[in-house]
Amino acid sequence: QSIYGTVKSLQEKGMLPVLPPGDDIPDNLHEQLMMKPAQLLRN
Protein backbone atom coordinates (compact mmCIF):
# COMPACT_ATOMS: atom_id res chain seq x y z
CA GLN A 1 0.00 0.00 0.00
CA SER A 2 1.43 3.35 -1.05
CA ILE A 3 1.73 6.34 1.24
CA TYR A 4 -0.87 8.07 -0.92
CA GLY A 5 -3.33 5.26 -0.27
CA THR A 6 -2.60 5.49 3.45
CA VAL A 7 -3.17 9.24 3.44
CA LYS A 8 -6.44 8.85 1.54
CA SER A 9 -7.59 6.21 4.02
CA LEU A 10 -6.78 8.46 6.99
CA GLN A 11 -8.51 11.40 5.31
CA GLU A 12 -11.66 9.34 4.80
CA LYS A 13 -11.63 8.49 8.52
CA GLY A 14 -11.25 12.18 9.36
CA MET A 15 -7.81 11.65 10.86
CA LEU A 16 -5.95 13.87 8.39
CA PRO A 17 -7.03 17.11 6.76
CA VAL A 18 -7.90 16.78 3.10
CA LEU A 19 -5.55 18.92 1.03
CA PRO A 20 -7.12 21.33 -1.45
CA PRO A 21 -6.88 20.15 -5.07
CA GLY A 22 -3.54 21.06 -6.61
CA ASP A 23 -1.72 21.16 -3.29
CA ASP A 24 1.42 19.06 -3.16
CA ILE A 25 1.70 16.50 -0.40
CA PRO A 26 4.69 17.64 1.69
CA ASP A 27 7.89 15.70 1.03
CA ASN A 28 8.19 14.87 4.72
CA LEU A 29 4.59 13.71 5.17
CA HIS A 30 5.63 10.05 5.12
CA GLU A 31 8.26 10.87 7.75
CA GLN A 32 5.65 12.63 9.90
CA LEU A 33 3.28 9.66 9.65
CA MET A 34 6.04 7.23 10.63
CA MET A 35 7.07 9.40 13.58
CA LYS A 36 3.61 10.17 14.94
CA PRO A 37 1.30 7.20 14.34
CA ALA A 38 0.12 7.14 17.95
CA GLN A 39 -0.67 10.84 17.88
CA LEU A 40 -2.69 10.41 14.70
CA LEU A 41 -4.65 7.55 16.23
CA ARG A 42 -5.40 9.51 19.42
CA ASN A 43 -6.85 12.51 17.58
CA distance 31 to 21: 22
Helix, strand, coil share of the chain (percent; to 5): 55, 0, 45
Q: Is the dihedral of CA 27, 33, 34, 39 positive or negative?
A: positive
The count of structural domains within the chain is 1
What is the rounded distance in angstroms from the CA atom of residue 37 to the CA atom of residue 31? Answer: 10
Indicate the pTM of the whole model: 0.30
- Containing domain of residue 33, as a range? 3-42
Q: What is the pLDDT of residue 7?
A: 77
pLDDT, one tens digit for every residue, the chain (43 residues)? 577 788 788 778 877 676 655 556 666 676 666 666 556 566 5
Give the pLDDT score at 5. Answer: 80
Asked if 16 and 40 touch (Cβ cutoff 8 Å), the reply is yes
The Cα 24–Cα 17 span in angstroms is: 13
